[in-house]
Chain A
């Protein structure tokens, strides 16, 4: 038991570590980049390796060939030199002349501790290591070096009492090797580029199903719950597509069930509400015949039935929003005319409406009955939480530097205002806490402001709350809606 307990926390930690490591790596490089880099790097590596191998093979085979002929020639010359040295007294001149007669230049002969040379090749050009090996050790040797600024093989051949050194020009071989190297370099470059292109294609191909999935996920998030991925022939991708589609179906079913539940509940509530409302009305028609206590009870009943009714209507509207079932009945509306009409049917029909000059000429496109609910909700809010004293302003939006494309419909009240930290919260459904105590619930308006928000967003506008413009205590709710100024 103890062991189990001590063992248990280690697994998650390890998993967490793996997860962090994986996510850290993937955060650094995207899949596409990784595939691209892998291909590019692989192609580069392959190209460099092949080029290097080809170069060194060519070089060694060319040099070997040249070396062999040089060694052979020098062996022949060595015979000549040996013959001439043996018969000559003090120096190697005879031997060099004999070589010259054979059309051999670029030679150095070491004889009795002295170097003699012909042509541009001198004893200075012989690398000391080679000199030592041939003269001291008395063995045949050769070395690649530079003579007169040109690459050459210097072959050293020991002969009796001396040595023959001969430079064989290999600049031709080096030239050939240079052009081979250049073409190999370009070949490698092209191969690498091909690898990059291939990698790019492979990466795009590898990522395409992911991009499709991402797009589908985005559509689903945007409310298009019926979005599905095309089933693929690729077995790996088929799993992805199938799991994705299963998830989408489950999500859709879930969302629909939730939306249907809210909608069903509200629907079920409507019938008893109808009965309640009608019965209360019948009783209200006989209010005067009732005893005083019954009248008070009836008033309470009537006002709460009305509140209940409002709440159910709001719930239904919200569930329609959630189900994406709201269709706006859009039409051109003269903003000023609309606002005056909306205020006149609200709970405070006498609320003053002030319209700016440009506001009088502004037209917006919207669903007049839904927007009227929005205005009515804001006025309800002012009535319940804003000291019951509201003022409505209509005017062009004064977003600096922008052409007039929006109208502002502002409702100002004389309540305590909304503290800055609660200004986003008031638009949430059944806002709780300090906000709820003051801003909602008391008149079934817990959904009122969130409906305002939903409606306005659906109309392509936004709503916020701020301080009154005249710095007096109170809140100012502003609706910003797309509108145009027209000439009337």
Chain B
């Protein structure tokens, strides 16, 4: 079965053009002009990637993102109007995996989507099970357990955790995480890492304000420990 993409965008022309461009990549594209339509379409078609424009009539992009996240770990790409306002961070906090700033080249979008699709596939860690104190990671099954309780991580959060778990105790810089998890070069946005680490902490840490496992190393990056 081919890859299905749900494009949520209120401007019909942009939607059509993006659909044409993405279909050239060999993907199936479903369209939605509003948040309500998107929720309905999402339930019906179960897409592999969702593309959401933040500026939507009715339910806005953030709200739609949160709604989808309640039931799904589907990769979400946010489209923001500008990259230096709080929109980016708010979108990532709402559960988006990545973002693009308008106007973007469709090539850029397909590159992002491909990077997200890569994340869906499990990574070979060479370990059946990784244990960090009360935290247990089963890479092949894409499962994380805390005190034996299964946690619901998005694909990106899981990938981030696995990258950190590959070399426990080693400090990973933002750049290296951007490269390994998101597939960005030197000029990726460090906020992607920061917000995802924050989101990851709310799930794996008993007390997210005082993290025990995912630790910040000031000025250097992040590290996973028992």
Contacts and interface: CB of A to CB of B under 8 A. Distances in A.
Interface of A: 267, 270-279, 281-282, 285, 309, 312-313, 316, 320, 325-327, 329, 331-332, 337-338, 341-342, 345, 368-369, 372
Interface string B73-97: 0000000011011000000000000
B141 interface: no
28 contacts: A270-B102, A271-B13, A272-B13, A274-B14, A274-B102, A274-B104, A275-B13, A275-B14, A276-B17, A277-B104, A277-B106, A278-B14, A278-B18, A278-B20, A278-B106, A279-B20, A279-B21, A281-B21, A281-B24, A282-B21, A309-B105, A316-B82, A326-B84, A329-B189, A337-B186, A345-B186, A368-B187, A372-B187
Nearest to B15: A275
Contacts of A309: 103, 105
Interface of B: 11, 13-14, 16-18, 20-21, 24, 81-82, 84-85, 102-107, 185-187, 189-191, 219
- Counting from the closest, the 5 A-B pairs by CB-CB distance are A278-B17, A341-B186, A275-B13, A273-B103, A275-B17
A409 to B, nearest CB: 16
Contact of A327 (B20, B84, B105, B190): B84
Given A274-B102, A327-B84, A281 B187 contact: no
Given A271-B13, A277-B103, A279-B17, A329 B190 contact: yes
A344 to B, nearest CB: 8
A345 B186 CA distance: 9
Contact of A271 (B14, B21, B106): B14
Contact of A341 (B17, B85, B105, B185): B185
Contacts of B85: 325
- Most chain B CB within a 10 A radius of its CB, from A271, A312, A332, A341: A271
A338 B187 CA distance: 9
Contacts of A331: 190
A270 B17 CA distance: 14
A280 to B, nearest CB: 9
Nearest to B174: A331
Contacts of B11: 271, 274-275
A320 B82 contact: yes
A337 B185 CA distance: 12
Contacts of A273: 103
A285 B24 contact: yes
Contact of A282 (B20, B81, B105): B20
A327 B82 CA distance: 12
A235 to B, nearest CB: 44
B40 to A, nearest CB: 24
Contacts of B13: 271-272, 275
A345 B184 CA distance: 12
A345 B187 contact: yes
Contacts of A345: 185-187
Contacts of A342: 186-187
A368 B106 CA distance: 24
Contacts of B187: 341-342, 345, 368-369, 372
Contacts of A325: 84-85
- Most chain B CB within a 10 A radius of its CB, from A270, A312, A331, A345: A270
Contact of A281 (B14, B16, B84, B107): B107
A337 to B, nearest CB: 8
Given A267-B81, A274-B14, A277-B106, 15 more contacts: A270-B102, A271-B13, A271-B103, A275-B14, A278-B14, A278-B106, A281-B21, A309-B105, A312-B103, A320-B84, A329-B190, A337-B186, A341-B187, A342-B186, A369-B187
Contacts of B105: 277, 281, 309
B159 to A, nearest CB: 23
Given A271-B11, A271-B13, A327-B84, A278 B21 contact: yes
Contacts of A312: 103
Contacts of B102: 270-271, 274
A197 B84 CA distance: 54
Nearest to A279: B17
Nearest to B102: A270
B82 A282 contact: no
B83 to A, nearest CB: 8
Nearest to B101: A313
A229 B44 CA distance: 60
B175 to A, nearest CB: 9
